[in-house]
Chains A and B, each alone.
Chain A
Amino acid sequence: MAGPMNEAPLVEMRALTKHFGRPPMLVHAVENVSFSVNRGEVVGLVGESGSGKSTIGRLILRAIDVTSGSIVFDGTPIEAMSQRALRPLRRRMQMVFQDPYASLNPRLRVSDIIGEAIDAHGLARGAARAARIAELLNIVGLEAGHAGRFPHEFSGGQRQRIGIARALAVEPDLIIADEPVSALDVSVQAQVLNLLQDLRLRFGMAMLFISHDLDVIRLICDRIVVLYLGRIMEIGPAESVCGSPAHPYTQALLAAVPRPDPDRPRIRRMLHGEIPSPLSPPSGCVFRTRCPYALEACASAVPPLRDLGDGRVIACVRDDIEFDVPV
C-alpha cells in the first residue's frame, strides 16, 4: 500500500448515504458507507449491479448531492461546497467511464477532446497545448498523428485510451474509473489494464476502480471494498479478501465467478433467490435473505463493521463460520 500510515487519506467517506426519490419509491442506493482512498492507492469498489458503486463515484465527483454523511478531499469537506468553490478541486479528480463509445463526443477530433480538458483549466496554449496533446497520446499508447481523427475511427480499446488521456490531461490526484474495461474484449481489456498499471507507477495517482469483475479488481487494486445493496460487506487488502474472504457475501461472490479450469467441480450454486429491491431492503443485515449462514439475530440489527485486524473489516454478526466451499 502506498503512503505512510500517518498521512491523511486523499479522500475519505464518512457515513455516506444517498437516497433517490421519495417514499414509497425511496431507493436506498448508498447507506452509511465509510472508507478512504490514500494517496497513490488503488481501491476497488466491487459488487453486483445496483449495489451503489457508480453512485458512490458520482457522489465523490459531486455530480449528485449526498443525502447525508461527508466526503473529505485532501482535508477539505466537499459534500456541501458550492460548484464554484469546487472548481479548483475538480481538476484533481477525473473520471474514466465504462462506455468508450458514449463517453466521447463524436463530433470532436481527438485533439479537441483532450484539449477541452486542458483549456478548461487553462493549462497550456498554442504550441505547448499541441505538444501536450501529442505527449498524452503517446503516454496512452496512441500515435500523436491520430490527434486529428474522430472517435469513430478508433476501436473500443483505442477509444478507452483516449478517455484515459483526457483524464490524465489535468494531472489529477484521483481517477475514478467506472467499469473502464467492462465493455472491452478480453484481449483488449488486458492492454488497458496494463496501461492503467503503468500510469499509476509512472504518475502515482490514486484510483477508485469500480467493477463488478472480481478478477480485474484483484489484479489492479491494493484494497477492495465489497458492496451489497448499498452497504459495505467487507473491506480489506485485495489479496486477502479474494484469497480468504471473511464475509459470507464475498465468499458467495467469489465462488460464483466461473473459472477457466475445466477440472474444477462444475456449477457450484451457492446463493439462491433474487437480489432484494433497493426500495425495501431487508431489515438488519441486507444480505440475510440470501445468506446460507443467516440466524434469526441477523434480521434484527444492522451488523456493525467489525475489525478483524490485518486491515480487514466485515459487517457480519457471525464469527464462527468455517467456509467449506473452496473459492
Chain B
Amino acid sequence: MALAQAPLLEIDQLEVEFRTETGPIVPVRGVSLRVDAGRTTALVGESGSGKSVTSLAIMGLLPRPFGRVLAGSIRFSRRNGEVVDLATVPPRGMRAFRGSEIAMIFQEPMTSLNPVLTIGEQIAEQVRLHLRLGREAAKSRAVDMLGLVEIPDARRRADEYPHQMSGGMRQRVMIALAMSCSPRLLIADEPTTALDVTIQAEILALIDRLRRENDMGVLFITHNLGVVAEIADVVTVMYAGEVVETAGVRDLFHHPRHPYTRALISCLPEHALRGEDGRRVVQAIPGSVAGSLDAPGCKFAPRCVHAVDACQAAHPQLDAVEPTHFVRCDRWRAL
C-alpha cells in the first residue's frame, strides 16, 4: 500500500511496569496493535492477560506513581493531522485528548457515573466542558445524546438518576457521555460483559452504528470470541502480556496460526466433541495462565501441545504470515 493513511492508533512494542510490594511486575511486555478510523479492532485474551492495562496506558490513566510505560510507543493521529506518541505526553497534557479525541467506556458503568447528578446533568456538564455551550443549549444537547443512544422517552429519562436505571440503560448513558464530544477513538473495555445477552445484542448494534456514522475507530476489549466475531474487523489476541496473533476477523477464525488462538477457539462449548460414553468433551487447554508469566521462551509453551524444546528457550518475535496477519510462534510454518 503506497501512501497509506497513518493509522488512527498504532501501538508498537509497548511495555508497562507496575511497582508492587513484592517488586516490579511487567503485565504488558509486547503489545503491538493498530486501530483504523471507522474500523473495530477487538483485543481478546483471558483474565489478567493485560487488556485493561493496555487500555489504561493509551488513556494515560495508569495508576501513578506505581505504573508507567517502560518502553514502546502509542502513536495517535489527531483531528488536525498531527501524530503524537501518547506514551510521552505528560499527564496534564493527556487532558487535551481524553474525552475529546479519545473516549472510554467500561464494564461497570455505575462506577463512572455520579450518583447524585441526573444523567441529563452529567451529559450536559461534559458537553459544556468540551463544546463551550450555554446551559440551555447543553441541556438540549444532552437530551439529543440520549436519543442518539436510543434511550426511549429521552426528555423524561434525562431527569433520572443512575440508580433508577437498568444496567443496559446505564451503559447507554456511558456511551452517550463518551460520544458527546465526537471522539475519533472509542475504547470499550468489556462494555457488555455484565449484561444479559439480549441487552448485549442491542449495545453491540449501537456501538457498531455509532462507529459507522462517525467514522470512529473502536478498540473493543473482550474475552468472548462470539462478541469478537460479531463486532470486529481486526482481532488482536493477547496471552500473558503479549500479543500472540493479529489478523482480520475472517482470517483469524478460519486460519488461526498461533496454537493459543487455535486452542481458544476449540475450547468453546459449541466445539465440544461427542464421546462414545455420551459425554461431550470440551477441548480444554491444560494448566492455567499462572505458569506462563515467568516462562523465558514462548509464554504459551508450558500449555502448548505443539511445544518443542526450542520453544522453552527462545522468545519468539511477532512474525508476518501475510501483510495483515502476524503471529508470535516460531513453529507457525510447521503447524
Contacts and interface: CB of A to CB of B under 8 A. Distances in A.
B268 A260 contact: yes
A252 interface: yes
Contacts, number: 138
- B198, B201, B223, B254, most chain A CB atoms within 10 A: B198
A194 B284 contact: yes
Contacts of B253: 260-262
Interface residues of B, number: 51
A217 to B, nearest CB: 9
Interface size band for A: 35 or more
Given A258-B226, A260-B268, A197 B279 contact: yes
A272 B202 CA distance: 8
A258 B227 contact: yes
Nearest to A258: B226
Nearest to B291: A155
A203 to B, nearest CB: 14
A201 interface: yes
A218 interface: yes
Contact of A274 (B168, B200, B279, B284): B168
A238 to B, nearest CB: 10
B166 A275 contact: yes
Interface stretch (A17-25, A142-150, A185-193): A185-193
A267 B204 contact: yes
Interface in B173-212: 196-202, 204-205, 208
B261 to A, nearest CB: 11
- A191, A262, A263, most chain B CB atoms within 10 A: A262
Contacts of B278: 201
B285 A190 contact: yes
A267 B205 contact: yes
A297 interface: no
A263 B248 CA distance: 12
B282 interface: yes
Interface in A171-192: 185-191
A167 B278 CA distance: 24
B250 interface: yes
Interface in A255-312: 256-264, 266-275, 290
Interface string B226-263: 11111100000000000000000110111000000001
A186 B268 contact: yes
A160 B269 CA distance: 18
Interface string B280-293: 11111110111000
B269 A193 contact: yes
Given A264-B229, A275-B196, A215 B288 contact: no
Contacts of A65: none
Interface of B: 46-47, 152, 166, 168-169, 196-202, 204-205, 208, 223-231, 249-250, 252-254, 263-265, 267-270, 272, 277-286, 288-290
28 contacts: A48-B196, A156-B47, A185-B47, A186-B264, A191-B282, A194-B281, A201-B277, A215-B268, A216-B269, A219-B269, A220-B280, A253-B197, A258-B226, A260-B225, A260-B226, A260-B253, A262-B229, A262-B253, A264-B229, A266-B208, A267-B205, A267-B208, A269-B205, A271-B201, A273-B152, A274-B199, A275-B196, A275-B199
